[in-house]
Amino acid sequence: MTILPSEQRDGASSFYVGATAYCLEASNTIVFPCFRDMPSDTQRLRALGTRVRELRTARGWSQERLAEESSIHENHLRRIEGGTANPSYLVLLRIARALEVRAGKLIEE
């Protein structure tokens, strides 16, 4: 297990254990999970796009092929993979079905 020291945007002390950030109160004796370190919406959309792209390329598919298999416009898929589109639930289901994965695999953090 790796423990990495860090500092929050507000200057508070924190550290990571694995992927979880923990904050220290001013007294440096009270530890609690840092919720202010949660990913932003932009980071989440980029992560979603990266997962879709990785799953697509693992199958050897082009964007055109995945768009066709999931019945969405290729430009929309391009924006999803680029992290600039916020796809609807139904679009995520179609992409997941085409890639033969659970929809949750596309959005897990």
Q: Per the confidence metrics, is the pTM higher than 0.75?
A: no
Which CA distances in Å does 74 have to 28, 46, 53, 57, 78? Answer: 51, 17, 13, 15, 6
Whether residues 88 and 51 fall in one domain = yes
> Contact 53/60 with Cβ under 8 angstroms?
no
Quick check: helix, strand or coil at residue 76?
helix
pLDDT for residue 7: 47
pLDDT tens-digit map of 51-63: 999 999 999 999 9
Whether residues 21 and 53 fall in one domain = no
In the chain, the number of structural domains is 2
Whether residues 13 and 45 fall in one domain = no
pLDDT for residue 77: 98
Per-chain mean pLDDT for the chain: 81
pLDDT for residue 44: 86
State which residues form the domain around 19. 3-33
Q: CA-to-CA distance for 61 and 92, rounded, in angstroms? A: 17
pLDDT tens-digit map of 13-37: 666 666 666 666 655 555 555 555 5
> Contact 87/80 with Cβ under 8 angstroms?
yes
Q: Which CATH number covers residue 84?
A: 1.10.260.40
